[in-house]
């Protein structure tokens, strides 16, 4: 299945991998309100499609995304407070939709990733970047702040690191982005596709229900104290999936030394 709007290409291949591709290379894939609405729609479509197993977010051209489109920012400068709030909520909704997608998500990053693009990367479960890619939380350069992306970037990179980069708007390298936790791995540009494909292959060998629940498990458990309530919750979670159809298939396939149905 393939669908398009003017700035995004959406395709699901025969493996059940959804590719969401930013297609404004002449604008360095800068995004505006139309692209934000399109991304929200495609993320929801992938999340609701039982045939989709993995989502890859990628971009055409030299840059992953230069952040906000200049014309969009010019329009925002004329908006009222109420209009700016509604506009920001659209971006916040898109980011939340990607961050909570019940499928594994991979960002394939090349070139520049500035401003809101850093938020997109931080919302993905995994991010593979070219060694030549560059990153910048550039908002303060024009008197703004990275507010809507901040929950995801702070989670990815940590509060102490963000104290620096939110305020300095320095450009930092892929090597540093990897060290700070924004990228999962850095490779040469020629290795980007094969590395992403290796991750996809690994993900597709695992139980689809288990993968989605493992992702949700992290959100439910992170930063909570290990008390009786949490122990009861996690015990119920594993008991439920053990007796589920997928859990039973996986256990029996392992014991019988055969591939599980989703691996065939």
Summarize pLDDT for 199-251 with one digit per residue, the tens. 999 999 999 999 999 999 999 999 999 999 999 999 999 999 999 999 999 99
Are residues 212 and 133 part of one domain? no
Backbone phi, psi, residue 219, to 5°? -65, -35
In this structure, are strands 54-59 and 17-22 parallel, antiparallel, or unpaired?
A: parallel
pLDDT interval class at 72 (50, 70, 90): confident
Please check the confidence at residue 172 and state whether its pLDDT lies above 80.
yes
Q: Mutual orientation of helices 150-157 and 159-168 as an angle, nearest 10°?
A: 120
pLDDT of residue 248: 93
Distances (CA, A) of 161 to 26, 116, 143, 169, 172: 32, 17, 20, 12, 12
Are residues 212 and 103 part of one domain? no
Give the domain-ending residue among 204, 219, 253. 204
- For 179-199, give one letter per residue: b (16+ CB within 10 A) or e: ebebbbbbbeeeebeebbeeb
Both structure tokens of 149: 């992306």
Burial zone of 171 (CB within 10 Å; 0-12 exposed, 13-18 middle, 19+ buried)? middle
Are residues 135 and 41 part of one domain? yes
Are residues 133 and 257 part of one domain? no
H or E stretch covering 173:
strand 171-173
Can you list the positions of beta strands (E) in 23-170? 54-59, 105-109, 112-114, 126-130, 134-136
Question: Percent of the chain at pLDDT above 70?
Answer: 98
Q: Mutual orientation of helices 208-221 and 228-242 as an angle, nearest 10°?
A: 180
pLDDT of residue 263: 87
CATH number of domain containing 85: 3.90.226.10
Helix (H, G, I), strand (E, B) or coil at 117: helix
Are residues 101 and 46 part of one domain? yes
CATH number of domain containing 252: 1.10.12.10
pLDDT of residue 2: 60
Q: Which residues, other chains included, contact 129 with Cβ-Cβ below 8 Å and sequence gap of 6+?
A: 109, 110, 113, 174, 177, 178, 183, 185, 186, 187
Both structure tokens of 112: 């520049």
Are residues 250 and 172 part of one domain? no
Tell me the average pLDDT of the chain. 94
Are residues 214 and 105 part of one domain? no
- Helices then strands, counting H and E runs in the chain, come out as 11, 10
Q: What is the pTM of this model?
A: 0.94
35 lies in which domain range? 2-204
pLDDT interval class at 4 (50, 70, 90): low
Are residues 185 and 216 part of one domain? no
Q: What is the mean pLDDT of residues 22-30?
A: 93
Query: Is pLDDT larger for residue 6 or for residue 152?
Result: 152
* Rounded Cα gap, residues 7 and 29, in angstroms: 8
Q: What is the mean pLDDT of residues 91-107?
A: 97
Which sign does the torsion angle of CA 226, 229, 233, 238 carry? positive
Give the domain-ending residue among 166, 187, 204. 204
Are residues 213 and 134 part of one domain? no
Are residues 191 and 235 part of one domain? no
pLDDT interval class at 6 (50, 70, 90): confident
Helix (H, G, I), strand (E, B) or coil at 25: helix
Are residues 163 and 65 part of one domain? yes
Write the DSSP assignment of 70-105 as a string of letters.
Answer: HHHHHHHTT--HHHHHHHHHHHHHHHHHHHT-SS-E
Give the domain-ending residue among 204, 222, 239. 204
End-to-end CA distance of the chain: 22
C-alpha of 65 from chain center: 14
pLDDT of residue 52: 97
Are residues 92 and 75 part of one domain? yes
Please check the confidence at residue 59 and state whether its pLDDT lies above 90.
yes
Number of domains making up the chain:
2
Please check the confidence at residue 3 and state whether its pLDDT lies above 80.
no
pLDDT of residue 256: 93
């Amino acid at each position: 299945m393939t669908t398009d709007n003017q700035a995004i290409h959406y395709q699901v291949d025969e493996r059940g991998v959804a590719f969401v591709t930013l297609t404004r290379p002449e604008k360095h894939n800068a995004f505006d309100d139309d692209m934000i609405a399109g991304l929200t729609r495609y993320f929801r479509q992938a999340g609701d499609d039982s045939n989709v197993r993995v989502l890859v977010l990628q971009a055409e051209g030299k840059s992953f995304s230069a952040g906000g489109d200049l014309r969009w920012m010019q329009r925002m400068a004329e908006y009222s407070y109420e209009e700016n709030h509604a506009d920001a909520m659209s971006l916040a909704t898109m980011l939340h939709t990607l961050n909570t997608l019940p499928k594994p998500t991979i960002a394939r990053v090349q070139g520049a990733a500035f401003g809101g693009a850093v938020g997109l990367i931080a919302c993905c479960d995994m991010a593979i970047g070219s060694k030549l890619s560059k990153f910048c939380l550039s908002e303060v350069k024009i008197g703004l702040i990275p507010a809507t992306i901040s929950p995801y970037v702070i989670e990815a990179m940590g509060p102490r690191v963000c104290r620096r980069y939110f305020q300095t708007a320095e450009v930092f390298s892929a090597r540093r982005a990897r060290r700070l936790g924004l990228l999962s791995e850095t490779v040469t540009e020629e290795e980007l596709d094969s590395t992403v494909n290796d991750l996809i292959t690994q993900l597709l060998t695992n139980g689809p229900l288990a993968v989605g629940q493992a992702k949700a498990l992290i959100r439910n458990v992170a930063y909570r104290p290990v008390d009786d309530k949490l122990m009861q919750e996690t015990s119920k979670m594993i008991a439920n999936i053990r007796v589920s159809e997928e859990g039973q298939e996986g256990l029996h396939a392992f014991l019988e030394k055969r591939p599980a149905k989703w691996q065939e």
